[in-house]
Each structure stands twice: as structure tokens, then as C-alpha cells.
């Protein structure tokens, strides 16, 4: 039994910053890759950033240089530091993780999302 819970969303002005957090909890043996996705009404969910269990990261081109994904393995938590925010970044942001449970069953988990609104 595993769950992911996001936090940190809210309203910010263009050029501002926000830090999103996502904590995995439950019967966890290990957390492998973690990622952040985002979705706007009328658009497909897009992959924003990924981070491997070893800390290797990847970003969609539109956020490179502005967003930073990181993780705290001791807390089973992934973060997304967002800077120089643009109105185009407005979306519901979803946390994703591949988790191996204590019964050794591995599967993909999703958080319920946190809304980020960039507007003046």
C-alpha cells in the first residue's frame, strides 16, 4: 500500500518561484525513478522532469535552466524547484514514481496533483 502526496502549489506572479514537494509513504521497499508531469485543460499530460534513483536528471526543453528536480531518499520525497515562472507554466502538476513495495511488487504510482497558477 503506497501513496504519493504533492504539496506546494499556488498562485505566483510571472518571474516568481515555487517549490513543489511529493512524499511517498506506505509499505515501501524502495523508490526508483521519480518524475513530475503537468497538464492543462485541452492539452495532453506532459513530462516535465525526471530523476533516477542515483540522481540523474532530465528536463523538457521548455523548463531547462528554470526548473530543478531533486530528491531526498531518506524521506522518499521528490522536489521541483521552479524559477522564472511564466504564464505558460500554469498547470496541474502531478508526481509520479515507480515504487517497489515491501512485498516486492513494483508499480507506477501517481499523486492527485497540485495546481500552479502563474498570473499577474
1 pLDDT higher than 90: no
Provide DSSP, 81-96: EE-S--GGG-EEEEEE
Give me the sign of the Cα torsion angle 59, 68, 112, 89.
Answer: negative
pLDDT at 119: 96
Task: Label residues 95-112 b or e (16+ Cβ within 10 Å = b).
Answer: bbbebebeeeeeeebebe
Per-residue pLDDT for 54 more than 90?
A: yes
Under DSSP, is residue 62 helix (H, G, I), strand (E, B) or coil? helix
pLDDT at 61: 98
Q: How far apart are CA 69 and CA 66, in angstroms?
A: 10
Reading the block at residue 66, the C-alpha cell is 528554470
| Overall average pLDDT of the 5-32 stretch | 97
41 or 20: which leads in pLDDT: 20
Q: Give tens-digit pLDDT for 90-118.
A: 999 999 999 999 999 999 999 999 999 99
Amino acid at each position: 500500500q503506497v501513496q504519493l502526496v504533492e504539496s506546494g502549489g499556488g498562485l505566483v506572479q510571472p518571474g516568481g518561484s515555487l517549490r513543489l514537494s511529493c512524499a511517498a509513504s506506505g509499505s515501501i521497499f524502495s523508490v526508483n525513478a521519480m518524475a513530475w508531469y503537468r497538464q492543462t485543460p485541452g492539452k495532453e499530460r506532459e513530462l516535465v522532469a525526471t530523476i533516477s534513483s542515483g540522481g540523474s536528471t532530465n528536463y523538457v526543453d521548455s523548463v531547462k535552466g528554470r526548473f530543478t528536480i531533486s530528491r531526498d531518499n531518506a524521506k522518499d520525497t521528490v522536489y521541483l524547484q521552479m524559477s522564472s515562472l511564466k504564464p505558460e507554466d500554469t498547470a496541474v502538476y502531478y508526481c509520479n514514481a515507480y515504487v517497489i513495495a515491501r512485498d516486492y511488487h513494483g508499480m507506477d504510482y501517481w499523486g492527485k496533483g497540485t495546481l500552479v497558477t502563474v498570473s499577474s
